[in-house]
Amino acid sequence: MPSITASRYRYRTTAIIRAARTSCSRADASKATRRNLLARASPRLQTCPVTKRSPERFLTTVLFTDIVGSTERAAELGDSSWRDLIQLHHALVRAALRKRGGREIDTAGDGFFAVFDGPAAAIECALDVVAEVRNLGIEVRAGLHVGEVEQIGAKVGGIAVPISP
């Protein structure tokens, strides 16, 4: 196959852009016509249907935390003392989230669910939480996963969420 010169490449690229603009701006242009325009502009171009990505989906790092042996510890401490311990735990986790740029999504009893823009911040937050809660006499396990999630109101969901814990 002959090589394409820079000027020929620019010509084909310009033709593709014009074809796309023309076909998108004309309401009566059929899908087949648009494919033909693009195919003529560049024989190497393989056209396929373009699907729009949902703006509600994004790549994120998911963090889950959970107190190790929480049921036994709650029974040992009693309701009032356990509630006080959980409040201290929540304050420490929220402080670590603020410090590392995490966003709290949900809590369930003694567990946290948060998201981060990147894995480094999530790892640092998890390490901070694990170290800080030791001062309260408890252990925390943390699960992290990087994946695409879907925004569902104020929360997030998708396959990346159940994979994390």
Helix (H, G, I), strand (E, B) or coil at 151: strand
Please determine, for residue 37, whether its predicted confidence score (pLDDT) is greater than 70. Answer: no
Residue in the block written with tokens 């009032």: 80
- CATH topology (fold) of 57-163: Alpha-Beta Plaits (3.30.70)
Q: Where are the domains of the chain?
A: 6-41, 57-163
Provide the pLDDT confidence category of residue 106 given band limits of 50, 70 and 90.
confident
Residue 131 is predicted with a pLDDT of: 95
**Quick one: tokens of 88?**
């201290």
The contacts of residue 100 (CB under 8 Å, 6+ apart) are 116, 121, 122, 124, 125, 128
pTM of the model: 0.61
Listed residue (157, 136, 163) closest to 56, CA to CA: 157
Q: pLDDT tens digits, residue range 45-82? A: 444 455 555 457 767 788 989 999 999 999 999 999 99
Q: pLDDT tens digits, residue range 123-139? A: 999 999 999 999 999 99
Helix (H, G, I), strand (E, B) or coil at 164: coil
Residue in the block written with tokens 């016509």: 33
